[in-house]
Amino acid sequence: MTYKNPVGIICSRVFYCLLFLSSAILSPAASANNITPLASRDQNPLVSIYGQPLPVAARILEPQQSRLHISANFSNTINSEQTANELLFIDIETHRINLIYDTAVQHDWMLRIQIPLIRHYGGFMDKWIDDYHHMLGLPEGVRPYHPQNQLSMHYELNGLTRLDMQQEQMGVGDISLQTAYQTINKKDFALSYWASIKLATGNSEQLTGSGNSDIALWLASHKNLKNSLWLYGNAGIVVMGKSDILPTIQKNQALFLTTGLQLNASNNILLKIQLDNHSAFYKTETDFLGPVTQLTFGGSIIMDKQSEIDIAVAEDIQTSASPDVNFNLSWRRRF
């Protein structure tokens, strides 16, 4: 893979981080009730079929509260890799809308249902991403050598085709049922335990599901560092049932970790930067099916006491390991 301007890449990322952190000195104090991670994770269509959860807030709903959360992720990638035994080519745009409903069932307990709506197709963002990469001096990889807005997914192992998808797919994905328990809930620190079961409601042939159920266990926490600056994180494990997708190289479990900083720039603007990591879901020598580290930056706009909007962009800082770019829009409202 060819890097167009590696110095520009490093400088642009350092610039964003310094701009974010230096503003903490001038930021006023803000409420601790809105420490929520960006609802973005690795949107690789061969990974998102499994039960790794979206990052969650450490503070759950209060008794008799409920919440509706709609999160949309628009990811685009093109990747070509060849190893001694594997051949991988992926050129795809995926739109994934998660419909999430939370309800507090009793003191310190909350239930969540998550329904994903998924579309895999050629997309429309290729030109935008090319312009975006040019503007920031980011690597273009193999993009200039392939037609825009095409759909193609192909994987070979030991000379045998294991996956080949060339047509648009759309449908309901694997529904998840989750529960959370609030173990610590202080003004400057919160901790909750989470568990999830992902049901096989999607269609593995359409790549909207894995064809089996998964279980995930994780914890979520946040802590005030100084005035308006907060540290948050999630860490856990997902145990996967045998998938219909690439079962010969699928692993049985994977670890995941999210760490982020939130700066309450004002009572209505919350700036966020986070790293999302997970171990490999497959036994592979390719980067795209291996472990991932992804950088997401953006923030939240507090509309009123009950509702918020998130806007974020995720970049594949670990080159070729995740989609080239992912745009996230989320809306939350408590009732």
First to last CA, the chain: 49
- What's residue 146's pLDDT? 59
Q: What are the φ and ψ backbone dihedral angles of 238, each rounded to 5 degrees?
A: -120, 130
**Mean predicted confidence (pLDDT) in 165-190:** 96
Residue 77 pLDDT exceeds 90: no
pLDDT above 90: percentage of residues in the chain: 75
For residues 35 and 186, the answer to whether their CB atoms sit within 8 Å is no
**273 closest CA partner among 240, 252, 298:** 298
Match 């809930």 to its residue by tokens. Answer: 185
- Dist. CA 75–CA 327, nearest whole Å: 6
Residue 192: which pLDDT band, with cuts at 50, 70 and 90? very high
More confident residue, 276 or 26: 276
CA distance to 32, 44, 300, per residue, from 307 (Å): 15, 29, 10
- Give the other-Cβ count within 10 Å of 328's Cβ: 23
More confident residue, 100 or 77: 100
CB crowding 270-302: b at 16 or more within 10 Å, else e: bbbbbebbbebbbebebbbbbbbebbbbbbbeb
**Mean predicted confidence (pLDDT) in 115-137:** 78
- Dist. CA 55–CA 155, nearest whole Å: 29
- Dist. CA 5–CA 134, nearest whole Å: 10
**Mean predicted confidence (pLDDT) in 291-305:** 95
How does pLDDT run across 226-270, given as a tens digit for each residue?
999 999 999 999 999 999 999 999 999 999 999 999 999 999 999
Residue 65 pLDDT exceeds 90: yes
How does pLDDT run across 213-225, given as a tens digit for each residue?
999 999 999 999 9
Match 């692993």 to its residue by tokens. Answer: 251
- What's residue 140's pLDDT? 59
- What's residue 285's pLDDT? 95
DSSP secondary structure letters along 141-179: TTGGGS-TT--EEEEEETTEEEEEE-S-EEEE---EEEE
**Mean predicted confidence (pLDDT) in 177-199:** 97
Residue 283 pLDDT exceeds 80: yes
- What's residue 115's pLDDT? 98
Mean pLDDT of the chain: 88
- Dist. CA 288–CA 265, nearest whole Å: 36
Residue 126: which pLDDT band, with cuts at 50, 70 and 90? low
Residue 320: which pLDDT band, with cuts at 50, 70 and 90? confident
- What's residue 30's pLDDT? 45
Residue 148: which pLDDT band, with cuts at 50, 70 and 90? low
Which domains can be identified in the chain, with CATH numbers?
6-334 (2.40.160.40)
